[in-house]
Amino acid sequence: MSTVEPRLSLVETEDEQARRLKLEEKVLRYFQNKEIAKERNEENKLLFEELEALFAESGEEEIIIPLPNGENAVLSPTFREREVLDKEALADEMQVPKDELKTPFDFSMFTAQGKLTPDMITKHTTIEREVKMKITKRKATRRRRKSRSRSSDADV
């Protein structure tokens, strides 16, 4: 029986080695794929910036480009508006350091003290408008035929 035991431990060792090699191979492939994805994302970011510039130069509202898979790529503008408060100018008008206008609590405290009014906030708030490009895929639409009226409808 002593000859059987070494064979079992040898087989287990070979199985463990095979499992370890498979594990190492999968881990290596996993990190290679992550690196490829990172490179692709960087390339796509650069491509998107170039597309934005070309789209802006075109002056068109929407550009539709057919893709090889039958879908369409649609480039269209998106408009973003946001209100921006010039805290520095507001602090100058209130004659307080800019650092004292950080949190909503700071604003409410100055409002309660009468040092800050809604008109002052309105005066120092501007609207920033930003136009960005959006790129999406859209299924190609087929033109629908007008349905013919039934002959029974025509007889009635």
pLDDT digits (tens, 9 = 90+) for 8-34: 555 678 889 999 999 999 999 999 999
Positive or negative torsion for Cα 88, 94, 99, 101: negative
- Collapsed DSSP state (helix, strand, coil) of residue 7: helix
- Collapsed DSSP state (helix, strand, coil) of residue 51: helix
Question: Which conformational region is residue 149 in: left (phi greater than 0), alpha (psi within -120 to 50 degrees), or beta?
Answer: beta
- In this prediction, residue 152 has a pLDDT band, given cuts at 50, 70 and 90, of very low
> Pick the residue with more confidence: 7 or 156?
7
pLDDT digits (tens, 9 = 90+) for 27-79: 999 999 999 999 999 999 999 999 999 998 998 899 999 999 999 999 999 99
Would you say 60 and 81 are in contact if contact means Cβ atoms under 8 Å apart?
no
DSSP state string for 89-114: HHHHHHTS-GGG--SHHHHHHHHHHT
**What is the model's pLDDT at position 7?**
55
Instruction: Copy the structure tokens of residue 81.
Output: 């508006």
Would you say 77 and 132 are in contact if contact means Cβ atoms under 8 Å apart?
yes
- In this prediction, residue 103 has a pLDDT band, given cuts at 50, 70 and 90, of very high
> Pick the residue with more confidence: 129 or 11?
129
- In this prediction, residue 156 has a pLDDT band, given cuts at 50, 70 and 90, of very low
What whole-number percentage of the chain has pLDDT above 70?
83
φ, ψ of residue 76 in degrees (nearest 5):
-145, 155
